[in-house]
Amino acid sequence: MASSNNTLIFSTEGARALIARGFTYDAVRRFAQGIADYIAHKYLRSEKPSVAVGYDRRFMSDRFAMALAEILAANGINVAVSTSPVPTPALSLATSRGGYGLGIMVTASHNDYLYNGIKVKQEGRSAPANITAEIENYSSKAVPLKGIKTGIDRKDFLADYCEYIENTYQPRKLLSRIKGKIVVDFMHGSAAEASKLLAAKNVIFLREKHDPLFGGMAPEPVPANIKDLADAVKANKAVFGAALDGDGDKIALVMENGVFLSSCKTAPLLLSHIIGKGKFNGKISQTVSMGYLTKRIAREARIPVEETPVGFKYVAEKMLHEGASFIAEDAGGYSWKGNEPETDGIVSLLLAAEIALSAKKPLSKVADSIEEKYGKSCYGRRDIDLPKIMANKHSFAVKVKKKLPKTILGKKIAETETADGLKIILDNDWWLLLRPSGTEQKMRAYAETDNETDTNKLLDLACKLANVK
């Protein structure tokens, strides 16, 4: 997430840094040269891939995108830059169906307006960690050529994306069949560029206007940032509401009663509907920061489940190459068989609409019925300040694991996982995950129990374990 010596460093979902401090023209040009050097070595004896460049609505994203393209063009690479801001899934689509071997998206996703960043796309999803690591390595040693403005194509990636969504899902036809209002909060993000897809008469838009300051808050669909959405859902007696993040790939749902639905409840809602349609083949893959309801649903349906490190790119690999039919992450990213191996807020919204249409009852009642059958879910997350950066997550996990008590909250520890930090799973499926940042003096703690009191107790325990020496 940070930058070092004008080299952008990748973390969970791309590289991000403060504009004018870590995210500068120099850093972007070095990154672009790193991509060019990576392509030159990787495709030494084969045809070099074309590169698609997109950008979001952030301050100067369009200029950073063009600076990046100018370096690629100087290296003889065929490059096309979007003619307008686009949601990230539109750029991903260009790498799966548009003939582009790589996609570079200038976006800081859900971070606040002070940040910008870059995501790398390939084959319709985020490029795997080994590829971004290679690009990062080349970038650290790169000496950028002087950029050129000739030979750069301009491409309407937004039109291609809208055509694909329209032909595949017929969104306005689906939404117009729902008897009641739906409220969509774009949070001033680039998904609003594709708002025409959702422009049925019963759909109300919030924060669709271009505002690079995002209304003064981060475009992250968490409860504190979508109070206006909850109020609008209740005021309009809407069937449900949906908030899309800054680059349109993540979603959060709000029920008709104005209650926010966590990812640990949204994933089971989507999964139950998909399984109920029949012909579910494959496995479920979710990040280690996801909850137990999906596991319990899968257990009953005899569907295998596996967990990956945090980051949608890890579950996307499972869908692309290992036959996963449903994938999910805690930040509000979902996909399923038949879609691109990419999280797309608009596509997830349409599945929620399909559930509302078929259920013939409020979505809150559908979510409640899942908890009545599989157990309550109370999910929490907390950021913990650390005295220093913990660069080695595994070493931290091993150290804490050795000092764990035999029981926590009166429950035996059934299992521990160290794939990404330390996940402690109790014998009743309650769990606590500790994930040091690796690039900041912070640790993120996640927990899930069947009640708020015990979830907070697990998060309090995380604060104590963070300081284990």
pLDDT tier, 10 (very low <50, low <70, confident <90, very high otherwise): confident
State the residue for tokens 């960043």: 117
The candidate with the shortest Cα–Cα distance to 87, out of 171, 14, 188, is: 188
The candidate with the shortest Cα–Cα distance to 120, out of 213, 259, 16, is: 16
Beta strands in 42-155 (DSSP E): 51-55, 79-82, 102-106, 115-122, 125-126, 152-155
**106, pLDDT greater than 90:** yes
Task: Identify the pLDDT of residue 354.
Answer: 97
Bridge partners of 260, per DSSP, are 254
Q: Are 142 and 30 in contact (CB under 8 A)?
A: yes
Q: How far is Cα 263 from Cα 290, in angstroms, rounded to an integer? A: 8
Q: Are 416 and 422 in contact (CB under 8 A)?
A: yes
**Can you tell me the mean pLDDT for 141-160?**
96
pLDDT digits (tens, 9 = 90+) for 27-79: 999 999 999 999 999 998 889 999 999 999 999 999 999 999 999 999 999 99
Residue type, 84: S
Domains (range + CATH), the chain: 3-160 (3.40.120.10), 163-168+180-258 (3.40.120.10), 262-343 (3.40.120.10), 378-465 (3.30.310.50)
pLDDT digits (tens, 9 = 90+) for 369-395: 999 999 999 999 999 988 887 778 888
The pTM assigned to this predicted structure is 0.94
CA 342 from centroid of its chain's CA atoms: 9
What HEC string does 22-54 produce?
A: CECHHHHHHHHHHHHHHHHHHCCCCCCCCEEEE
Task: Identify the pLDDT of residue 4.
Answer: 52
b/e code 215-231 from CB counts within 10 Å (16+ = b): eeebbbbbeebbebbbe
Q: How far is Cα 96 from Cα 341, in angstroms, rounded to an integer? A: 9
b/e code 270-280 from CB counts within 10 Å (16+ = b): bbbbbbeeeeb
Report residue 121 as tokens.
Answer: 């796309």
Task: Report the percentage of the chain scoring pLDDT > 90.
Answer: 89
Helices (H) and strands (E) in the chain, counts: 14, 25
Q: How far is Cα 160 from Cα 178, in angstroms, rounded to an integer? A: 27
Biggest CA–CA distance in the chain, Å, is 68
**1, pLDDT greater than 50:** no
Residue 376, CA distances (Å) to 338, 368, 370, 391 in order: 30, 9, 9, 35
**110, pLDDT greater than 50:** yes
Q: How far is Cα 202 from Cα 216, in angstroms, rounded to an integer? A: 28
What is the crossing angle of helices 88-96 and 157-169, to 10°?
Answer: 80
The candidate with the shortest Cα–Cα distance to 223, out of 332, 101, 302, 128, is: 332
Task: Identify the pLDDT of residue 6.
Answer: 63
Q: How far is Cα 114 from Cα 84, in angstroms, rounded to an integer? A: 21
Least confident of 20-34, 182-196, 224-238, 384-398: 384-398
